[in-house]
Amino acid sequence: MPKSVSLNFVDVVELSPPAGVEPVHWRLLTTHEVGDAATAWQIVDWYSRRRTIEQLFRLMKTHGLRLEDSQLASADVLIKLAAIATKAAVVILQLVQARDGQGGEPAGNAFSPSEIAVLDSLDASYQGRTVLQSNPHPRQSLAWAAWTIARLGGWDGYPSSKPPGPITLRHGLEYFRAIVKGCALRDVCMP
């Protein structure tokens, strides 16, 4: 390790915050060169994404996939497990970010065509009896998939309810993956 590291300082101050809200004031230290305003804003943009990164790690650890509970002795195997857990956590995070329907991403960003077909079948059975309990998102959008996965995870589907969180979506995704495996086996002939 070097005895010292050169750092650059980026100071961000919100000049006109909304009424009653404390202004943002970030003091960021970075090892990146900051030669102009565009580079400084790039540093600010990276820092603003820290919440998403923290959510990803939360999903991989205690409040999600519990990666830290693995009892693997080999670093190589632990790295493979971490890669698998990261993929699963990213799908959950995609569902959390898409649940409000604002982005318009297709379900194909997180699910295969065969998984989307299963979601299509499930969506019909999880629609409620009223308009309030119906999936409000366009078919085969990621928000539509998030709504259905959340219902599988135990969310009631009412717009007035608290939005489904990462744990509800994780439970729904686990249940969904089991259903997908079952659907894949339905045409297997047993002697």
Residue with more model confidence, 172 or 1: 172
pLDDT 10s digits, 117-168: 999 989 888 877 778 788 899 999 999 999 999 999 999 888 888 999 988 9
The number of beta carbons lying within 10 Å of the beta carbon of residue 88 is 18
Asked whether residue 146 is domain-assigned, the answer is yes
The number of beta carbons lying within 10 Å of the beta carbon of residue 153 is 21
Asked whether residue 106 is domain-assigned, the answer is yes
Q: Are residues 118 and 152 in the same domain?
A: yes
Asked whether residue 191 is domain-assigned, the answer is no
What is the CATH number for 81?
Answer: 1.10.740.10
| pLDDT score recorded for residue 15 | 92
Asked whether residue 108 is domain-assigned, the answer is yes
What domain count does the chain have? Answer: 2
Asked whether residue 3 is domain-assigned, the answer is no
H or E element that contains 170: helix 166-185
Asked whether residue 117 is domain-assigned, the answer is yes
Q: Are residues 26 and 81 in the same domain?
A: no
Q: Are residues 42 and 58 in the same domain?
A: no
Q: Are residues 81 and 39 in the same domain?
A: no
| pLDDT score recorded for residue 47 | 92
Q: Are residues 17 and 87 in the same domain?
A: no
| pLDDT score recorded for residue 189 | 66
Of 68, 67, 30, 36, the residue nearest 50 (C-alpha): 30
pLDDT over 80 at 102, yes or no: yes
- Domain range for 34 is 8-48
Q: Are residues 25 and 109 in the same domain?
A: no
Asked whether residue 2 is domain-assigned, the answer is no
Q: Are residues 25 and 59 in the same domain?
A: no
Q: Are residues 67 and 156 in the same domain?
A: yes
Q: Are residues 70 and 106 in the same domain?
A: yes
The Cα–Cα gap between 91 and 111 comes to 9
Asked whether residue 177 is domain-assigned, the answer is yes
pLDDT 10s digits, 31-78: 999 999 999 999 999 999 888 888 888 888 876 778 788 877 788 888
Q: Are residues 25 and 61 in the same domain?
A: no
| pLDDT score recorded for residue 128 | 73
Six token digits for residue 51: 């919440």
